[in-house]
Structure 1
Amino acid sequence: MKQAPFEQNIIAMVWDCDKTLISSYMQDPLFRHYGVDGKKFWAEVNALKARYAEQGISVNSDTSYLNHILTYVKSGLFKGLNNRLLREFGKELVFYPGLPDFFGEIKKLIAEDPKYKAFDIRLEHYVVSTGFAETIRGSSIAPYVDGIFGCEFIEDVLQPGFLDGDAAGLKSSAAAAELGLDAGSEISQVACALDNTSKTRYLFEINKGSNKYPDTIDVNSSIARESRRVPFQNMVYVADGPSDVPAFSILNYNGGSTFAVYPKGDVKAFKQVDALRRDNRVQMFGEADYRKGEQSWLWLTEKARAIADQIVERKKAAIRNNVSAPPSHLT
């Protein structure tokens, strides 16, 4: 008999970052470090699509900011910007009330409940962001997270001939030092770019388990739903706005859970998430306050318990279906 590869005992909470976990944008520490006007930078980014369209070039408005950052590096405005610095900027991120403690609390709530412990039910956190993966890795939330998916840069670019070991192809820091070359140690290429639609790819990676077993499972592999590591109904997606509608849609369509947050007292943001709820884009929303007893804490913890209870019931039903009735005395 074919054995199922996964127990399907994992609950996954998948988080957007900017305006969901933090109140601002994670690029702000970068602008402060270099004394760059962030409003001017974003105004330039917003104008890129129209300006390049005049040249007959179509650009992705969600990821064009990455190339504009590289333009700032080349122009000297972000001189010396590298992945180490991007990670250092993570220390400056200020999270909403209750974070990062909430991440650990809800994991503990599931892992230590005897009812769930009997079936080894656990909760994992993932961050999927169009921002910098390195900055999230350097933040206070990183130790509580089981996976981070975001935009990434390459510093030392492999040159033509690198497979042959030629000097022309050895532009890593160590090899360049041996050859007396200057490797630069600045970001120079985009390694990975996430936009609001491609975020859904990582939902499928978590769902199928390719994030945990990349050498065995490809995100495009065909896997029966009952054989996937984290069924969509075991997932909760938390984000702040319309840009996350593609991810919300995947979860809603496949039986998952969706939750939107807004900053306390922000009427415009409140109306935005309320519109998402009325349009059935999200199932519920609350203030971006994750302290114990607050609405978001209550909804998310109760949702995690409800999913865990469903897993318990499925496991018990499977046991009952595979166990015959015990023999009894004849009367």
Structure 2
Amino acid sequence: MHETIAVVFDFDDTLAPDTTSGFLRHCGLDDVGRFWRECVDPRVTREDWDPVPAYLYEMIVAARDGRLPPITRERLADWGRMAPLHPGVETLFARLRRAARDANPRVNLEFYVISSGIGDVLRHTRIAHELTDLWASEFHYDERGHAVFPRRVISFTDKTRYLFHVQKGLVGPQHRGKPFEVNRKLPAERLRVPLNQMIFVGDGYTDIPCFSLLKQHGGVPIAVYDRQREDKWGNAFQFVRDGRVANLHSANYREDSDLSTFLLMAVRSLCTDIALAARTYQG
């Protein structure tokens, strides 16, 4: 029997305000909106770049020409430690674990992040210790420790690749540097977390493949939006109109919020399903 449930989150604008924009402000960039509007967007719309390598490349360019200080692991980590989170995020994990334990003590509840954001920021946030694993975009650094190239880009369907890592149990340091493992076909009984025992929470266009995959296979896709980002409300509502998600909530994870309640309901429901399947399996 599969007795593990995975709750998988995007990070930027899902669990926290955009950490990349926050890092740019932290580094003293005068007009962050202009960086996205005049540097990144033209790469995407005029030169057909993918949005994620476009922003990583433009950060490297900005550091090279002096608009930003050198981008180093230490500077990114320092920002990660101070980056703000959405309300209630820091206590969410304990609440969900308690709900799972109360509903079915045999269930193991795990948390993951799959993000287009910068790994050297996200690994140092205040909730990183709550995660079983985290996958994000990464820089390569030269001999001075300065970022010079994007060495990993996670965007759109790249995110579904890591849902399959979770499904097959390819998590933790021992599976790093083995990019072809995820292609191994495993029999159903050897899958660690079936897709219908996953919950995915995201906010943006790069999350659509994960929404669609989980909906297709009986998982729980949930979209969130930031009340302060009215410019993104239309995108969030489109996920509902297109039937991509099970629910849409503002990114408020406080104990009394609708989002927190819905996540508790989803975890409890999956725990109950696992208990029923176990009784059926045992005859």
Same fold, TM exceeding 0.5?
Answer: yes
**Correspondence for 1:16:** 10
How much does 1:223 deviate?
Answer: 1.1
Give CA-to-partner distance per residue, 1:216-238, whole Å, 9 cap, x none. Answer: 98111011233211100100011
The one-letter amino acid of 2:215's match is N
Closer, same or farther in 2 for the Cα pair 1:239/1:85, shift >3 Å? same
Is residue 2:30 matched to residue 1:40?
no
How much does 1:60 deviate?
Answer: 2.0
**Correspondence for 2:72:** 82
User: Map of 1:172-187 to 2, 5 A cutoff?
Assistant: 183-187=143-147
Give CA-to-partner distance per residue, 1:233-270, whole Å, 9 cap, x none. Answer: 10001111333211101101111111111233766644
Is residue 2:17 matched to residue 1:29?
no
User: Which ranges in structure 2 are unaligned for 5 or more consecutive residues?
Assistant: none
Give CA-to-partner distance per residue, 1:58-86, whole Å, 9 cap, x none. Answer: 53233211111122232233333211211
Higher relative contact order (CA 8 A, sep 6+): 2
- Name the structure where helix makes up a greater proportion of residues: 2
TM-score normalised to structure 1 length: 0.78
Query: What's the secondary structure of 2:181's corresponding residue?
Result: coil
What is the alpha-carbon distance in structure 1 between the residues aligned to residue 29 and residue 67 of structure 2? 9
Query: What's the secondary structure of 1:124's corresponding residue?
Result: strand
User: Map of 1:267-286 to 2, 5 A cutoff?
Assistant: 269-286=232-249
Q: Pairwise CA RMSD of aligned residues?
A: 2.2
Aligned partner (choices 72, 80, 99) of residue 62 of structure 2? 72
Give CA-to-partner distance per residue, 1:83-133, whole Å, 9 cap, x none. Answer: 12111111232111111111222123213x2x522x2x1111111111111
Q: Which is higher, the Rg of structure 1 or of structure 2?
A: 1
Q: Does structure 1 retain, via aligned residues, the 8 Å contact 2:222–2:248?
A: yes
Closer, same or farther in 2 for the Cα pair 1:274/1:86, shift >3 Å? same
Q: Segments of 4+ in structure 1 off by > 4 A?
A: 265-271
Q: Does structure 2 retain, via aligned residues, the 8 Å contact 1:277–1:284?
A: yes
Q: Does structure 2 retain, via aligned residues, the 8 Å contact 1:20–1:262?
A: yes
Give CA-to-partner distance per residue, 1:124-172, whole Å, 9 cap, x none. Answer: 111111111111111111121111111111224xxxxxxxxxxxxxxxx
Comparing 308-317 with 73-82, greater Cα deviation is found at 73-82
User: Which ranges in structure 1 are unaligned for 5 or more consecutive residues?
Assistant: 1-6, 157-182, 321-331
**Correspondence for 1:92:** 82
User: Map of 1:310-321 to 2, 5 A cutoff?
Assistant: 310-320=273-283
TM-score normalised to structure 2 length: 0.90
How much does 1:49 deviate?
Answer: 3.6
**Correspondence for 2:119:** 133
